[in-house]
Structure formats: C-alpha cells, structure tokens
Chain A
Amino acid sequence: MMNLRVKFTKGYEVKYVSHLDLMRTFQRMLKRTGYKVKYSEGFNPHMNLTFALPLPVGVTSDGEYAEFSIDEQISCEAVKERINQVAPKGIEIIEVSEKLAPKFKEIKRAEYTVTFETKNSAEDFKKVCDLSEILIEKKTKKGIKEVDIKPLVYSCDFEKSDDKIIMKLTCAAGSEENLNPDLLVKAFEKYIDNCDISYYSIHRNQLVFPVEYEF
C-alpha cells in the first residue's frame, strides 16, 4: 500500500468546476488509472480521497494537494506519469510524494495572483489594502454579516503591466481562517471611488505549509 500526496494544477479548462465536482472528477481519474485505490469500509464504501483545501469556483491554481492510497509498489514518478495519461484537460499532476507531513490542517496561508482589467491605478488599490479596517458584507449560513477582512490580508503588492494591474496577495487560508480573494475584490469595488474593474481573474500560486514542504 502506498499512501500518496500529489500536487496538481487546476487550469482554465476546469476553473468553473466546483469543489464537489472536482472531487468526483479526481475519483474518476484515479479509477481510470487502473490502480486499486483504497476505499472506506462499511455499507456504502467510498474512495478515500482528501483535498488540502477547497478552491473557490472560477479560480485557477498551480498548487493544489490531494491524498489517497493505492495498493501498488511502484515509483512516485510512475504514478505521476500514469495519472497524467488519463487526466482531463486542465488537471496535471506536478509532483507525487509518499511524505504526508506536515498535514493539510497545518496550512494557514495561500498566495494568489489577481489580475485586473481596470481604469483605476495601482495606487487606488493599494490605498484600500492600507486601511485599518476593510469591512465587507459576507454571506454566511445565518445570513448576511459585515466582517472585517483586514486581519486576513497578510500582504499585497501591486504592479502594472500593459493595461492590467497585477496584485500579489498573501492571505489567510485554511479551515480556521480563510479569505476568498473575491471578497477583497468586492472591497475594492466598495472603497475605490469610481471603481472600474471590467474583468478580473484569480490564480492560486500555492498553499503555504508552516515549514517548507518538499517533495
């Protein structure tokens, strides 16, 4: 039995696939490998597959993680190759490892690149990030609530390229504290006078483990 952690991408082809659908897609992909993947015991067995953190719909990524076990004794490299042979467009396994520590729940932050097509200046955006409080309405299970997302934003840098503004964002990610970058975009729209964002895209560069995780 090999217990595996894989790092994979979610490309633009599958960016609109929801978390649950991505789980199902992943399971089918693993089934196509022909490997004996480990299932749970019990009356209604399901594939044991864990994702590090859900990725919001519409976000692409170069650094997602999943774990599962297979009943094989082969090299990680071989596993990677086999999965990539049967992977749908947009999903690519970048690394495979048998090292399962640090655990997924140790992930506390993530790095994103958000690209804006906008008439506003980088300065306009920067000002919002420098506020002492960023209040935004958030939908929760109990209804709409105003929250301060400032403590969740760890750093953000802006850079102008052609007619686009690129934001490098590090923010809270994990089961305890988490920021969906979409909320920050909403904040820009709220706080910037004459805000004009015609389009934006969000990309997750990586999930950050407390100690460097090396494959």
Chain B
Amino acid sequence: MQNLEKILKYVEKPSRYTGCELNSVVKNKADVKLRFGFCFPDTYEIGMSHLGMKVLYDVLNKTDDIWCERSFMPWVDMEEKMRENGILLYGHESKDPLKEFDVLGFTLQYEMSYTNVLAMLDLADVPLLSEERDLSYPLICAGGPCAVNPEPMVDFVDFFMVGEGEEVILEACNIIKDYKQSGKTDKQELLIALSKVEGVYVPSLYEVEYNEDNTIKSRKALFGAPETVKKRVISDMDKLPHPEDIIVPYTEVVHDRVTLEIFRGCIRGCRFCQAGFIYRPVRERSPETLCEITKRSLEKTGYDEVSLCSLSTSDYTRLSELTDELISFTDEKMVNFCLPSLRVDNFDLELAKKVQEVRKTSLTFAPEAGSQRMRDVINKNVNEEDILKTSKLIFENGWNRVKLYFMIGLPYETAEDVKEISELAFKVQGEYFKIEKEKRPRGLTVTVSTSSFVPKPFTPFMWAKQDTVSEIVEKQQILRDNMKSKSITYNWHDSDLSIMEGVFARGDRRLSKVLYTAYKKGCKLDGWHEHFKYDKWLEAFKECGIDYTFYNHRERSYDEILPWEFIDVGVSKAFLMRENEKAKMAQTTPNCREKCSGCGITSLTECEELRKQGGCAK
C-alpha cells in the first residue's frame, strides 16, 4: 500500500483518487489467486459513469479467487505529484501499485484515449511495449468497441477480447490463473493458450505483409492461432447479471445514477453508426427483470435517479409498460426517472411528459442530416414531416428549448445537403411561430450542433473517404452564414480531433509506432480539448514516415484487405457492401423489426427479430 496522504492535499478533487467508496470491493490479498486491474483510460469522472466497467467489475469480483480493482487516468496535477513523490499508478481498492497485479485490462471506448493507455502504463512503471514485458509484469489486455479494430494498439497490448466481455474475461482469467499457479513462466506459451479462447486475439501471433502501395498484402496466423477471431455474444439477456450494488462515488461523476441497460443491439441500422452493427443482434431484458434490478439497485446505492441506457431506447418493445412500472415506485421513493434521448418518428408525448415532469428541460432530437436525401443515404429513417410535427407538438405542450444534432462530412454529401440543415432549423422555428402567441411558451431556443463524421470499421461507410479539415471548415462556414437568427444557436467543433480519430479508427498495426512517438512527445488526454496537440501528432507521423491521409482521406476499394477484416463481428462484408451501394443511390433499408435484411449475424448467434418474422433464427 502506497502512502498517498502527502500528495492528496495538493491536488484538485482529491476524493477521486482515494477509493473507499460505498460498494467498492476489498478482498484479502492472500485469499485470491489473480489480481485484475480494470483500467479506464480517462478520468475518474468519465470512467465511473461507464456501465461496462461496472458490469465487468461485478463479474470478476463475484469470483472468489479473483480480485478486480479500478484505476483511472489521473488528471495532470495528480500525475505531476505522483511523479514527484515516486508514487506509482495504483488500484483504487488496495492502493497497491498496478505493477504487482497479474492482469491489467483497458477498455477502449474511443480512439483518442489510446495515448492514455500508454500514459497509465508509464505511470505504473510497466514497460509500454509488449515485447519488453515478461511474465514478471502484468499481462495487458484490452476490450471495448475499439477492439473491433485492435491493430493500432498491437505493440502495447498482449491480448484483446472482442465482443461482449462477461464470459470471455473469466475464461481468460482462469487460464492465466492456472498457468501462473503451475509455476510456469513462458509468456508466449500462455498467450498461445489464450488465443484458443473464442473472442481472444493475440496480435503477436500474426504476421502482416504489405504491398508497395501500403495496402495489406497478406496476414498469416502463427502457432495455430485462428485465422479469424469471432466476437463474443451472449444470447440470453435475462440470464446475464446486471450489476446492482454498484459503486457510489463521493465526487460527482458524469452519470451519477442507476443506469439500466434495457437491451443490447439496435434494430435501426443507421449506416454511420458503428454500434448499430457491432452490437447486433437486439436482445431485450424483460420489464419484470428490469424493475427488480432497479429496486435492488436503489436500495443498495441510495441513488435518487434512474436512467435507461441503450442505443435507441424508444425501440424497446414494452417501453410504456416498463416506464409505468418504474414510475410507480420511483415517484414514491422520491427518485427521478430520466430518458437519454427520444426519437422524432415515434415520439411519445405522454412518455416525454412523464419523464420530464420534474424538470422541464430541453428536448433533444438527432435528425443527423439536413436533407431527406442525406437521411436516406445514412438510413436514418426520419422524415421532415415527423420532425416538424414533433416540434409543433412539444411547443404546444410547453417546451421552448429544442436541441438538434447533425453530422457533416457524411459520404456522398453536397453543399446543398449541408445548407438544408439550416433550412430545417428555420422550419422548426417556423412551427413555433405558427402557434398563437398565448398558446406557446415564451423564449424559443433552437440549438443546432454539428459534429464531423468519422468513418468506422464494420459499417457500410468503412470504405469511404473522410472529409479533410478544409472541407469541414467550408461546410461549417455555410452553416454559420445561413443560421443567423435570434432564436437559433449554432455549435460546431474543431475537426482536427475527428481527423486523428478517423486515422486510428481505420488504422493498421504500423500506427503503434506513431502512438508511441506521439506519447513521447507529450500527447495524452487527447479527448480533452485543452490537451489535444494536433501539431505534435502531425510531427509524430512525419517522424515515423507515415502519411496519415492514407488512412482516412482516400476511398478504399472493396477488394482491398482491410486491417480489421480478420475479426468477425457477425455482420457480413457482403451485407455492408450492399448497404454502401444502397447509400450511393439514397435507398433506405427497413429496420430489423419491419423486415430482416440478412446481415449475417445468425452465423454467430440467434436473432430474435428474425425469429419473430418466422425466419430461421440460426
């Protein structure tokens, strides 16, 4: 146990470094056989808001001989004090250095946290490069959505877990535990054993060759490692435990409440959305189970807020049943109930009223694109009529603030499409003014936000060229010029960050070198605007002799071998190609509940939506 006392006085918000929170798990070191450090490569406030971490913490700690602790990226002032005082990055529960653990697991939620992984290893005094670590160091593993293209991180991570982690993490830990107990110390032998577990990817067991034009020529699996790595899926959601006695932080975190995962997957198939493809198929928990979970969670935490969390919450088949049941006891317990976002096409006024009763704040809608043509290209099945009808409805019912989210830089987008974003904002404003003065709330604000689109692996747009900074700036300018109104506010972001995100999202293993170089140049906390150093990143690419535009500013051909192709997320390449071709013609695809489009997921697991349509589930 390290003595943190002397430095905590001098840092901001010290209680995020002290552990000891309610429901954090402390075990006796001597009683456990494997110590796991769950590392979230961002700050405590962000990490502690993340449901996935709570789920795996729970799963691991329910196993008697495993002790899972948490660790986060310290903020800059804390990092400085730690370095000054020789304090190594530690597990929050024991305060022991992570270096003494058996396994450190990083969750890769967004590409721009990659340098934080390096920073955390460094602060833990663990060598960054996998090849420099023998078994006297912890094994480093990683999972999370970015693990569907793990290649840019291969130099640092010993093994990845692809897909849903609840089962595979235990299987991997058991293999490691047994191997270590046997007294053997051959890291490669252990990694080969791990590579046999479905969903595990050991990058050092593969060789990649390149063509002269820098594209991939071939991939070779060594030591009997599998040619393709299949993602893990858990088929029966009701059997899957949902954490209940979750840790209650002292200091305020981003989502400080009971979060209910009501289902996994999404029926929609919006073509820009990676989550919509990699988390297929849709699996719902029953309202009965969810209510039980909520009750017990509230009892064990004392939280005064519950929120539903899923990709498209309003698609939950028994939503009104669930919300009625939840509200029936949350109200009485003085607990708030909130929904993250509502759809415009199946907007439910009664529901909006129910959940917004306590605080009538703004309503948020995400049409994603301004023109109908573009919405068809991205398969966002929302039409202008829905948006305007819903706007009218909410204005008539007392809301005066609407937030509209859009993306710019989408494939096949023209200046005209972009302009239509502003036109839509004016039409929404128009709906408000159509209502008689006495019948509408005062002081309308329409907030329009745009983000720059980043093409991601395993989406129909994975072959697409990403817009350059200057193309994005031009599009933002169109909107700035066209959205001059007292009641409309336009928010946009610098696109430098999206450029780097795009490079690493679709990068190959040669980018590990760039990450290493950028980290050494001081890049970390890149997701935090004030710490993102675009110039350092460009320098790092230059020094490594890598042209980043190769990764994001060119269109790939269908027959190019993509860096992530050896991973099987269940959705077939043929399906993604079909979807991309339809996108080019602005043709939409029905959602999974209307009609199955044969995405291929049934090669991995059953699909309930398909079964309901009388199709063969597997």
A, B assembled together: yes
Give me the interface of A with B, judged by CB distance under 8 Å: 13-14, 16-18, 21-22, 24-25, 27-32, 34, 39, 44-45, 47, 57-58, 86, 88-90, 199, 201
Q: Tell me which of B4-12, B260-268, B533-541 binds A.
A: B4-12
Does the CB pair B358–A44 fall under 8 Å?
A: yes
Contacts of B300 in A (CB 8 A): 32
Contacts of B9 in A (CB 8 A): 58
Within 8-48 of B, Cβ neighbours of A (below 8 Å) are at 8-9, 13-15, 18, 20-22
Given contacts A58-B8, A58-B9, contact A17 B301 (CB under 8 A): no
Given contacts A16-B8, A28-B304, A58-B9, contact A90 B20 (CB under 8 A): yes
**Closest 9 CB pairs between A and B?**
A28-B302, A31-B302, A16-B14, A32-B302, A13-B20, A88-B22, A16-B15, A17-B250, A17-B15
B86 to chain A, nearest CB (A): 15
Does the CB pair B5–A39 fall under 8 Å?
A: no
Given contacts A25-B250, A39-B334, contact A32 B20 (CB under 8 A): no
Does the CB pair A88–B334 fall under 8 Å?
A: no
Residue of A whose beta carbon sits closest to that of B6 = A199
Can you list 22 A-B pairs, Cβ within 8 angstroms, ordered by A?
A13-B18, A16-B8, A16-B18, A17-B15, A17-B251, A18-B13, A18-B15, A18-B251, A21-B15, A27-B304, A28-B248, A31-B303, A31-B333, A39-B334, A44-B358, A58-B8, A58-B14, A86-B302, A88-B21, A88-B248, A90-B20, A199-B6
Contact of A88 among B5, B20, B333 (CB under 8 A): B20
B359 sits at the interface (CB 8 A): yes
Contacts of A32 in B (CB 8 A): 299-302
B252 sits at the interface (CB 8 A): yes
Does the CB pair B301–A28 fall under 8 Å?
A: yes
Contacts of B302 in A (CB 8 A): 27-32, 86
Given A21-B252, A27-B302, A31-B304, 11 other A-B residues pairs in contact with their CB atoms under 8 A: A13-B20, A14-B15, A16-B15, A17-B15, A17-B251, A27-B304, A29-B302, A31-B302, A32-B301, A34-B299, A86-B302
Given contacts A13-B20, A199-B5, A199-B6, contact A28 B251 (CB under 8 A): no
Contacts of B22 in A (CB 8 A): 28, 88-89
B20 to chain A, nearest CB (A): 4
Contacts of B303 in A (CB 8 A): 28, 31
Give me the interface of B with A, judged by CB distance under 8 Å: 5-6, 8-9, 13-15, 18, 20-22, 248, 250-252, 298-304, 333-334, 358-359
A14 to B8, CA, bound (A): 12
Contacts of B252 in A (CB 8 A): 21, 24
Contacts of B6 in A (CB 8 A): 199
A86 to chain B, nearest CB (A): 7
Most B-side CB within 10 Å, residue of A16, A24, A25, A30 = A16
Residue of A whose beta carbon sits closest to that of B8 = A16
Residue of B whose beta carbon sits closest to that of A43 = B358
A25 to chain B, nearest CB (A): 6
B180 to chain A, nearest CB (A): 31
A16 to B251, CA, bound (A): 10
Contact of B334 among A18, A24, A45, A199 (CB under 8 A): A45
Does the CB pair B14–A14 fall under 8 Å?
A: no
Does the CB pair B358–A21 fall under 8 Å?
A: no
Contacts of A14 in B (CB 8 A): 15, 20, 250
Contacts of B301 in A (CB 8 A): 28, 32
Residue of A whose beta carbon sits closest to that of B359 = A44
A12 to chain B, nearest CB (A): 8
Residue of A whose beta carbon sits closest to that of B14 = A16
Contacts of B251 in A (CB 8 A): 17-18, 21
A16 to B301, CA, bound (A): 20
Most A-side CB within 10 Å, residue of B5, B13, B20, B300 = B20
Contacts of A199 in B (CB 8 A): 5-6
Residue of A whose beta carbon sits closest to that of B23 = A88
A190 to B250, CA, bound (A): 34
A157 to chain B, nearest CB (A): 24
B322 to chain A, nearest CB (A): 22
A68 to chain B, nearest CB (A): 13
B386 to chain A, nearest CB (A): 32
Residue of B whose beta carbon sits closest to that of A21 = B250
A50 to chain B, nearest CB (A): 18
B334 to chain A, nearest CB (A): 6
A142 to B21, CA, bound (A): 36
Residue of B whose beta carbon sits closest to that of A86 = B302
Contacts of A90 in B (CB 8 A): 20
B95 to chain A, nearest CB (A): 12
Most B-side CB within 10 Å, residue of A17, A45, A58 = A17
Contacts of A31 in B (CB 8 A): 298, 302-304, 333
A24 to B303, CA, bound (A): 10
Contacts of A25 in B (CB 8 A): 248, 250
A57 to B251, CA, bound (A): 12
B319 to chain A, nearest CB (A): 26
Contacts of B13 in A (CB 8 A): 18
A99 to chain B, nearest CB (A): 27
A39 to B302, CA, bound (A): 15
A132 to B19, CA, bound (A): 43
Most B-side CB within 10 Å, residue of A13, A31, A199 = A31
Contacts of A39 in B (CB 8 A): 334
Contacts of A30 in B (CB 8 A): 302
A115 to chain B, nearest CB (A): 12
Most B-side CB within 10 Å, residue of A14, A25, A44, A47 = A25
B269 to chain A, nearest CB (A): 40
Contacts of B248 in A (CB 8 A): 25, 28, 88
Contacts of B299 in A (CB 8 A): 32, 34
Residue of B whose beta carbon sits closest to that of A89 = B20
Contacts of A17 in B (CB 8 A): 15, 250-251
A90 to B304, CA, bound (A): 22
A86 to B22, CA, bound (A): 9
A21 to B44, CA, bound (A): 15
A89 to B23, CA, bound (A): 10
B210 to chain A, nearest CB (A): 52
Contacts of A29 in B (CB 8 A): 302
A13 to B24, CA, bound (A): 12
Contacts of A47 in B (CB 8 A): 334
